[in-house]
Amino acid sequence: MTPSIILFLGIFFISLVLTMVGLGGGLIFSPLFVILGFAKVDAASASLFLNLVAAASAAYTYSQKKMVDFSLAIPLIVSSGLAAPIGSYLNSRVDTTPFMVVMSIVLALAGCRMLMAPPRQADGAGVGPLKKIFGGLGIGACIGLIGGFLGIGGGVFVVPLLIYILKTPTKIAAASSTFIVCFSSLTGFLGYAAMEPINWRFILPAAVASFAGGQAGARIMSTRLKGKTIRIIFSLLLFGLCAKLVHQLLIR
């Protein structure tokens, strides 16, 4: 497939919107690339790299504004970073059909999650340091494994788990998620790079668009987060991508 200007603009827009809700874009990139005809390994590796760039771009802005909870993020970074290469390895060992089935299920669940309003108040009250550490390690291991396997970074699961399990304020959860996703995306991508050649001719210019989108999204979210409209639009997009993957499965 020959990349087009429209695809790069799409990468910019996806990175912009998803970094506003604590994601790097991998949730959309991986299934989008599969639909566009990329091999599943190429789609996942490119998605993880772009996810890394967008998330790192946003995380830098959030950290400058002191919105990242590093004490919470570090346990997740350690366990997700160790688990992501295992997910990458599993991806290379399974057929395309089960990969697409898992991706469809994840997209459907993610679409449902995007429709859910965050709790009115989550301030971390009653959550001790040990629960933060061990809860973070467990969450990170699951996120890294799933994110590495699907090439999505795992941020779509980090945010709700931080909010509902560790009682993290919504904006802090979203900002911290971008920082966490950087590391799971990096180790997952390195796992693919160790096994398969990387299409740098596509990834590098796409990374420029992803970086710019991450910066724009972080600056918008740091001042105000209009979550309801964004959640509705992207939940519909996720359901659409899920339906497209299911359609491809049915006609295989």
Q: What is the pLDDT of residues 33-76, one digit of tens each?
A: 888 888 888 888 899 899 899 989 988 988 988 888 888 888 88
Q: Is the pLDDT of residue 31 over 60?
A: yes
* Amino acid residing at 13: F
- Determine the average pLDDT of the residues in 167-192: 83
Report the share of the chain in percent with pLDDT over 90.
10
Residue-level pLDDT at 2: 57
- Determine the average pLDDT of the residues in 78-103: 82
Residue-level pLDDT at 220: 82
Q: First vs last Cα of the chain: how many Å apart?
A: 20
Q: What is the pLDDT of residues 182-222, one digit of tens each?
A: 887 888 888 888 888 888 989 999 999 999 999 988 888 76
